[in-house]
């Protein structure tokens, strides 16, 4: 019969048992097998886990700039081993107690901040929640291990507006960058065209200088080697040669068109005469202006 007065119970690892005697708290039972004397009114009233527990709380509130926002808080808490009896007897539902204090702190803290500040200062909000919970829950035998603000969710219409603002800003920046790129291309193109024209003009000037030097040398050489010839005769012969070279180039061109021009040696002399007359008239006008 004595065996009926004894009760054996096992407390799991990372847990503690609350032992009562005659309805009063007796002691905390550590993990392992325990024997309780029922005749003496001793029994295992309950078991508390010492593991870290998680509680996710979603709280909706309003910011200083009148934007409704939902904050999702993740609370990590555990029973303090030395105050397991307080945790067992003082609070009937610790999760509801923690949730109530999270609501109280968030709704007192966030309305003082703008929406941008809520995103930027999530750690400050989490710190305020953690300090308040630690101060309150420590009296009930609980320890707040960590408090995290895992998500900030504004109203869907506000999120759409924020995305549109961000998209408009990025489009404006892209337009500015595109304009700067086109400006650089235009400037570089203009610089390239100016440089090309300068080099082209320089090449033409050098070409004409070379032609002039060549004509001068030909006239002097021909006049020295053929007695009785004048510079006019030599120029007429050179112009005839250039005339036929020009006609040859026109005939060999792949994009040539039909051209009607006077042809014959006499016309070449007429052209030469016109050039000489123009030069003489130019010298006369220059002399008149100088006087």
Q: Is 23 helix (H, G, I), strand (E, B) or coil?
A: coil
Residues in the chain: 291
CA dist 7 and 155 (Å) reads 58
CA dist 24 and 135 (Å) reads 28
**Predicted pLDDT of residue 206:** 78
- Global confidence as pTM: 0.54
CA dist 177 and 53 (Å) reads 52
- Specify burial of residue 256 (Cβ count, 10 A radius: 0-12, 13-18, 19+): exposed
CA dist 143 and 136 (Å) reads 10
Residue that is written with structure tokens 């086109």 in the block: 182
- Specify burial of residue 43 (Cβ count, 10 A radius: 0-12, 13-18, 19+): middle
* pLDDT, mean of residues 162-190: 81
Which of 45-49, 91-95, 201-205, 249-253 is the least confident region?
249-253
Which of 99-108, 125-134, 206-215, 281-290 is the least confident region?
281-290
Other CB atoms within a 10 A radius of the CB of residue 44 amount to 17
List, for residues 131-153, the tens digit of each pLDDT value: 999 999 998 999 999 999 988 88
**Predicted pLDDT of residue 2:** 44
List, for residues 64-81, the tens digit of each pLDDT value: 888 888 899 999 999 998
List, for residues 180-193, the tens digit of each pLDDT value: 888 888 888 888 88
Distances (CA, A) of 173 to 168, 176, 183: 9, 5, 15
What does the mean pLDDT of the chain come to? 79
Residue that is written with structure tokens 């609501």 in the block: 103
pLDDT at 101 over 70: yes
Which range scores top for mean pLDDT: 36-40, 167-171, 237-241, 250-254? 36-40
* Nearest to 154, CA basis, from 101, 117, 125, 103: 117
Residue 85 · residue 18 · CB < 8 Å: yes
Confidence band of 23 (pLDDT split at 50, 70, 90): confident
Higher pLDDT, 162 or 114: 114
Residues 6+ apart with CB under 8 A from 123: 149
Beta strand residue intervals within 139-205, DSSP E = 142-154
**Predicted pLDDT of residue 1:** 39
- Specify burial of residue 233 (Cβ count, 10 A radius: 0-12, 13-18, 19+): middle
């Amino acid at each position: 019969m004595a065996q009926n007065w004894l009760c054996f119970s096992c407390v799991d690892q990372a847990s503690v048992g609350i032992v009562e005697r005659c309805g009063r708290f007796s002691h905390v039972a550590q993990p392992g097998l325990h024997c309780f004397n029922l005749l003496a009114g001793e029994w295992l009233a309950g078991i508390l886990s010492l593991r870290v527990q998680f509680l996710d709380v979603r709280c909706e509130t309003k910011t200083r700039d009148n934007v409704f926002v939902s904050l999702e808080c993740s609370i990590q808490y555990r029973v303090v081993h030395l105050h397991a009896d307080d945790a067992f007897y003082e609070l009937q539902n610790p999760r509801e107690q923690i949730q109530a204090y999270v609501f109280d702190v968030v709704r007192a803290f966030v309305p003082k901040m703008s929406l941008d500040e809520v995103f930027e200062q999530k750690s400050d909000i989490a710190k305020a929640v953690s300090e308040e919970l630690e101060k309150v829950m420590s009296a009930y035998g609980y320890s707040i291990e960590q408090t995290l603000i895992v998500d900030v969710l504004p109203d869907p219409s506000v999120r759409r507006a924020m995305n549109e603002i961000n998209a408009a800003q990025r489009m404006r920046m892209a337009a500015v960058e595109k304009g700067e790129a086109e400006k650089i291309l235009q400037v570089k193109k203009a610089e390239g065209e100016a440089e090309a024209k300068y080099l082209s003009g320089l090449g033409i000037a050098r070409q004409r200088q070379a032609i002039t030097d060549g004509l001068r040398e030909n006239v002097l050489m021909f006049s020295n080697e053929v007695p009785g010839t004048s510079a006019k005769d030599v120029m007429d012969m050179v112009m005839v040669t250039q005339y036929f070279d020009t006609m040859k180039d026109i005939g060999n061109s792949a994009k040539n068109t039909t051209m009607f021009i006077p042809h014959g040696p006499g016309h070449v002399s007429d052209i030469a005469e016109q050039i000489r007359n123009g030069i003489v008239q130019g010298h006369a006008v220059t002399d008149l202006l100088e006087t």
